C-alpha cells in the first residue's frame, strides 16, 4: 500500500502532517525522524503525475466480478483504516474508489486507488496488488504469498497453562471459525467463550509481564478504548444484532452495521496495537482483536448469502482469508522480533586478564619470563543492569561454560514468557514457531473451496 497527501486543509498543516506520518509509521516521537518527510509531503501536494480515472468515466463493474470488486473495496477500506490511523478529531467525510490511468513512478497503470477525504486532508491511497485492466479486476500475484496448505479442520483446545483471558478468547473464536469454515457458527458464540458477564480488562497477566520485559506500556486511554470496543461489540452482537437478524431486518442494513464495527476495530484497535511502541506488549490482545474481526467477517458472510446459502461463496469469506493472512503475518513477525530482542538482552563479557612476559635478569644472565592468561567472564543483563561478577575459578568447571550457562538460563526464561504471548505451542503442529491462534488463522487464510 502507498499513499499521497493530495490536499491538506488542516489549520496547522505541518503539525497535522507530522502527526499523521508519526501515526502511519508507528513512531512515538513525531519530530524525531519525520521532519524531512513532513516538509516533502507539504511541498508536493499537487502530484502532477497522479492520473486517476474520474468518477463519471469509471467503467461498469462486470457482473461476474461483482463479488470480487466488493471484496477488494472492503479490504482496501480496512487496510487504509488500520495502516493510516485517523488523528483525534479527524473524521471521514467521503470516499471513492478509482484507479491510475497512467503509471506513477514504479506503480503500474490500472492500480486500484482509494481517495479518502477527512475534515483535515485528502489522501490518495494506492494498492499495487490490485489492478483494473480493461475494466476487469486483476490480482498482481507478485504481491501475494501462495496459499497455506489445508491441514484439516481440527479445533484448537483452550490454551493450557496460560492464564490470559484475551488469548483464551482469541483461541476459542479462531478455533471455532477454523473448524466451521463452511458452516454457521451460531448466535451464542460470545457467551460460550466469555461467559455471561463483560470483562473489565483484557490486558491481564501476560500483558503485564510483556510490559515489564519490553518496557512498552500502552496508554490507559488506548486500553480503555480497546476494552470498550471488545465488550461493546459483544453486547451489541447479542443484544441488538441477533434480535434484528432474527426479526428479518433487511440484509443491507445488517451488513452496514457490521461494516461500522469493522471500521471501529480497524481504526481504534488493530491500528493502535500495530504501533511500534505497543505491538509487543499488546500482542495477546491483538490476537483477540484479529479473531473478532474474523468473526465479524464470518457473520457478514452468513448474512450476505441468507439462511440456506453457502457462506463459502460470499465475498466476505474472501475478505476473511485476506484479514487472517494479514493478522498472522503481523503476529509472527512481532514474535520473532521479540525473540531477537531477548537473544540480545543478555551477553557474556570477556574480562580475560593477559600478563605479558617480562625480562628477568640474574647473576647468571637474563631471560624472558612466560606470560600468563587468566580467563574471566561476566554475565551482563542489558534490561536489568544485572552483573554476575567474574567467573574465573576453574575448580567448579570451565569459567566460560559456567557463565554461558547462566546467560542461557536467563534467556530461556524470557523466551518462555514470550511464547506465552502467542498462546504457547500449537498442539496441532508442535514443530511450528507460531502459536495455536496463528495456526488457526493460517488454516482460515489457506482454505480452498474445492
Residue 5, beta-bridge partner list = 123
What is the C-alpha to C-alpha distance for residues 223 and 68, in angstroms, rounded to an integer?
Answer: 36
Identify any residues that bridge with 373 across adjacent strands, giving them in sequence order. 354
- pTM of the entire structure? 0.75
Buried/exposed code over 340-352 (b: 16+ C-beta within 10 A; e: otherwise): ebbeebbebeeee
- What's the mean pLDDT in 151-160? 32
Q: What residues pair up with 2 in beta bridges, in sequence order? A: 126
In whole angstroms, how far apart are CA 260 and each of 64, 174, 300?
A: 27, 21, 12
* Residue with more model confidence, 118 or 178: 118
The C-alpha atoms of residue 299 and residue 279 are separated, in whole angstroms, by: 27
Count how many residues are written for the chain: 450
User: Domain extents for the chain?
Assistant: 2-143, 165-342+420-446, 346-417
How far apart (Å, rounded) are the C-alpha atoms in residues 59 and 295? 33
Cell numbers given for 27: 513512531
Report d(CA 346, CA 358) in Å as an integer. 37
Residue 304 CA to residue 367 CA, distance in Å, equals: 95
Catalogue the long-range contacts made by 385-391 (C-beta closer than 8 Å, 24 or more residues apart). Answer: 390/351
Query: How many C-alpha atoms does 393 have within 13 Å on its Cβ side?
Result: 3
**C-alpha cell at position 114:** 482509494
pLDDT at 234 (0 to 100):
85
C-alpha cell at 301: 458472510
Please provide the DSSP assignment of 288-320 as one string.
HHHHHHHHHHHHHHHHHH-TTS-GGGSHHHHHH
Residues 6+ apart with CB under 8 A from 447: 150, 181, 321
CA end-to-end distance (rounded Å), the chain: 30
Residue 269: pLDDT band (50, 70, 90) is very high
Q: What is the mean pLDDT of residues 121-133?
A: 90
Contact between residue 161 and residue 436 where contact means Cβ atoms under 8 Å apart: no
Provide the pLDDT confidence category of residue 371 given band limits of 50, 70 and 90: confident
Q: H or E segment at 377?
A: strand 377-381
Residue 187 to residues 53, 61, 234: CA-CA distances in angstroms?
Answer: 43, 34, 11
Taking alpha carbons only, the member of 297, 315, 314 closest to residue 306 is 314
DSSP type of residue 267: I
Question: 13-44, pLDDT tens digit by residue?
Answer: 888 888 888 777 655 444 544 566 666 666 65
How much is the pLDDT for 148? 33
Rounded Cα–Cα distance for residues 360 and 35 (Å): 65
Give pLDDT tens digits for 297-320.
999 998 887 555 678 888 898 899
Please tell me the number of Cα atoms within 13 Å of 441 on its side-chain side. Answer: 29
CA gyration radius for the chain?
28
pLDDT over 90 percentage in the chain:
40
Residue 160 has pLDDT above 70, yes or no: no
Q: Which CATH class is domain 165-342+420-446?
A: mainly alpha
Give phi and psi for 112, each to the nearest 5: -65, 145
- Whether 343 shows a pLDDT value over 90: the answer reads yes
For 232, 260, 361, 419, the CA distances from 173, given in Å and listed in that order, are 17, 20, 83, 20
CA distance 376 to 378: 7
153 contacts 179 by C-beta, under 8 angstroms: yes
Determine the 3-state secondary structure of 54 from DSSP.
coil
Percent of the chain residues topping a pLDDT of 70: 83
Considering only 57-61, 106-110, 192-196, 329-333, which range has the smallest mean pLDDT?
192-196
203-234 pLDDT, tens digit per residue, is: 888 888 899 999 988 988 899 999 999 989 98
What average pLDDT score do residues 84-90 get?
88
Q: What's the whole-number mean pLDDT along residues 274-293? A: 93
Looking at the predicted structure, is the pLDDT value of residue 156 above 80?
no
* pLDDT (tens digit per residue) in 360-370: 677 777 777 67
CB 283 within 8 A of CB 339: no
Angle (CA) 139-137-133 rounded to 5° is 100
Cell match 497503470: residue?
109
Q: Which grid cell is 444?
A: 482460515
pLDDT at 313: 80
Amino acid at each position: 500500500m502507498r499513499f499521497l497527501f493530495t490536499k491538506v486543509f488542516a489549520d496547522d498543516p505541518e503539525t497535522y502532517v507530522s502527526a499523521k506520518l508519526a501515526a502511519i509509521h508507528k513512531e512515538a516521537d513525531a519530530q524525531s525522524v519525520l521532519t524531512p518527510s513532513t516538509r516533502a509531503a507539504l511541498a508536493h501536494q499537487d502530484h502532477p503525475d497522479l492520473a486517476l480515472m474520474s468518477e463519471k468515466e469509471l467503467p461498469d463493474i462486470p457482473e461476474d466480478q461483482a463479488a470480487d470488486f466488493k471484496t477488494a473495496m472492503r479490504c482496501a477500506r480496512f487496510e487504509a483504516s488500520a495502516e493510516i490511523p485517523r488523528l483525534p478529531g479527524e473524521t471521514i467525510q467521503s470516499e471513492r474508489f478509482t484507479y491510475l490511468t497512467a503509471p506513477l513512478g514504479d506503480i503500474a497503470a490500472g492500480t486500484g486507488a482509494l481517495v479518502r477525504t477527512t475534515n483535515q486532508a485528502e489522501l490518495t491511497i494506492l494498492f499495487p496488488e490490485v489492478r483494473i485492466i480493461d475494466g476487469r479486476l486483476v490480482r498482481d500475484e507478485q504481491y501475494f504469498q501462495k496459499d497455506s496448505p489445508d491441514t484439516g479442520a481440527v479445533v484448537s483446545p483452550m490454551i493450557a497453562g496460560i492464564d490470559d483471558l484475551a488469548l483464551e478468547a482469541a483461541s476459542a473464536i479462531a478455533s471455532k471459525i477454523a473448524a466451521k469454515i463452511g458452516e454457521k457458527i451460531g448466535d451464542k458464540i460470545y457467551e460460550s467463550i466469555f461467559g455471561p458477564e463483560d470483562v473489565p480488562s483484557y490486558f491481564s497477566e501476560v500483558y503485564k509481564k510483556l510490559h515489564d520485559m519490553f518496557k512498552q506500556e500502552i496508554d490507559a486511554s488506548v486500553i480503555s478504548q480497546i476494552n470498550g470496543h471488545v465488550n461493546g461489540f459483544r453486547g451489541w452482537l447479542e443484544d441488538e444484532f441477533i434480535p434484528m437478524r432474527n426479526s428479518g431486518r433487511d440484509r443491507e442494513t445488517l451488513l452496514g452495521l457490521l461494516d461500522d464495527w469493522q471500521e471501529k476495530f480497524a481504526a481504534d484497535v488493530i491500528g493502535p496495537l500495530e504501533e511500534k511502541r505497543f505491538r509487543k506488549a499488546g500482542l495477546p490482545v491483538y490476537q483477540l482483536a484479529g479473531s473478532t474481526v474474523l468473526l465479524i467477517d464470518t457473520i457478514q458472510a452468513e448474512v450476505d448469502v441468507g439462511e440456506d446459502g453457502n457462506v463459502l461463496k460470499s465475498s466476505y469469506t474472501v475478505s476473511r482469508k485476506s484479514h487472517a493472512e494479514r493478522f498472522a503475518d503481523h503476529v509472527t513477525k512481532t514474535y520473532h522480533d521479540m525473540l531477537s530482542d531477548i537473544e540480545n538482552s543478555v551477553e557474556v563479557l570477556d574480562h580475560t586478564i593477559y600478563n605479558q612476559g617480562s625480562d628477568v635478569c640474574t647473576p647468571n644472565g637474563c631471560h624472558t619470563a612466560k606470560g600468563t592468561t587468566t580467563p574471566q567472564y561476566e554475565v551482563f543483563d542489558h534490561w536489568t543492569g544485572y552483573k554476575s561478577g567474574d567467573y574465573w575459578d576453574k575448580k567448579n568447571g570451565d569459567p566460560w561454560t559456567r557463565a554461558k550457562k547462566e546467560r542461557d538460563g536467563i534467556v530461556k526464561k524470557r523466551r518462555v514468557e514470550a511464547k506465552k504471548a502467542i498462546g504457547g505451542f500449537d498442539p496441532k503442529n508442535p514443530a511450528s514457531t507460531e502459536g495455536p491462534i496463528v495456526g488457526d488463522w493460517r488454516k482460515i487464510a489457506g482454505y480452498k473451496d474445492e
